[in-house]
Amino acid sequence: MNKRLIGLMSGTSLDGVDAVLVRFDEQGAPSVEADHFVAYPPRLREQALALQARGDNELDRAARLANELAELYAQAVNGLLAAQGLKPADIAAVASHGQTIRHAPDAGYTWQIGNMARLAELSGIDVIADFRSRDLAAGGQGAPLVPAFHQAVFGSPTQNRVILNLGGISNLTRLHPGQAVVGFDCGPGNMLMDAWCLRHQGQPYDADGQWAAQGAVEASLLQALLDEPFFRQPPPKSTGRDLFDLPWLEQKLLGRHVPAVDVQATLLELSARSVAQAIALHCPTNQTVFVCGGGARNGALMRRLAALLPEQDIAGTAALGLPEHQVEAAAFAWLGWRFLRRLAGNLPEVTGAAGGRVLGALYPR
């Protein structure tokens, strides 16, 4: 089997497509050789956001967006190949997460779009996609799926570790020697901060948390946000824009007169506090938190996490050999490798599935 795969990730932040080139040894140990990023054009981002709110003619809009996504994914794949001087024949498969439009595990479905047959046609490479549905079919949440990868790549026989992904949604994986892996979504990571910043600053994200740092946390608003039942729900659990969107925030703001900059500061505190509370509750003996995802570049958020977790060391996953921006795409390359070997890719103790399942569906080139 060809030992290289390309992992594609476009997450809830809707900033673009991360592509990583990963080489695997015979035991499945990954080594990232290169990465490439293609930003979402503003129009495509707006279309994806619009589809995440229920509306008219969704089937046609979703199908057209899936075609555009396939072309953007192919651009990411071809750009990565060109930069490395590789041909499609050098790659065993592209493993693509797709773009989540709806995540409703309680209703028995999750929907990630992207015309994967078209991606196979455009790239000339086998495509593996639809990683979440099989876990849901087995009674699981379909998310998070990355804890199995975290366990394989970041686990330590001696150190209690948490791997924290600060993407649009924050999720953590507890890797404590001698204990079962625990993984779940904590709540909003960058998603609400990004949306609020776009509305009031015209910028897609709050660079380094600078705008939030100019505001003050509004205590009563923070408490109203933290009163959301999801935060008290025990794992396994997962979430997304189906819950934590701007209408959810606007409902919490009704009757309050909070300056926009203070709302941003409060949203940053919500992201940090929900993570810190989850770690304190489910990982009380943890020693080190290794952070990945876009939130790792938010200095204000990272400083607040450090203040809330004073007895724990906090570092980026680069300290473990895998840069923060590569982790999720590499995880889906790893899931693609597991699919090719017909090995289970989920952790039932994390997702709640009835057992280990081979995840994914193949779209041959």
- Domain residue extents for the chain: 4-143+325-363, 147-320
Q: Residue 1 has what pLDDT?
A: 57
Q: Residue 57 has what pLDDT?
A: 81
CATH says 4-143+325-363 is which class? Answer: alpha beta
Q: Residue 12 has what pLDDT?
A: 83
Q: Which CATH architecture has domain 147-320?
A: 2-Layer Sandwich (3.30)
**Radius of gyration, alpha carbons of the chain:** 20
Strand order in the sheet with 4-9: 30-39, 16-24, 4-9, 93-96, 127-129, 361-363
Q: Residue 293 has what pLDDT?
A: 96
**Segments in the chain below pLDDT 50:** none
Q: Cα(110)–Cα(98) distance, rounded to whole angstroms?
A: 11
Task: Say if CB 50 and CB 90 are below 8 A apart.
Answer: no
Q: Residue 244 has what pLDDT?
A: 95
Does this chain's domain 4-143+325-363 share its CATH topology with 147-320? yes
* DSSP secondary structure letter of residue 257: -
Q: Residue 49 has what pLDDT?
A: 85
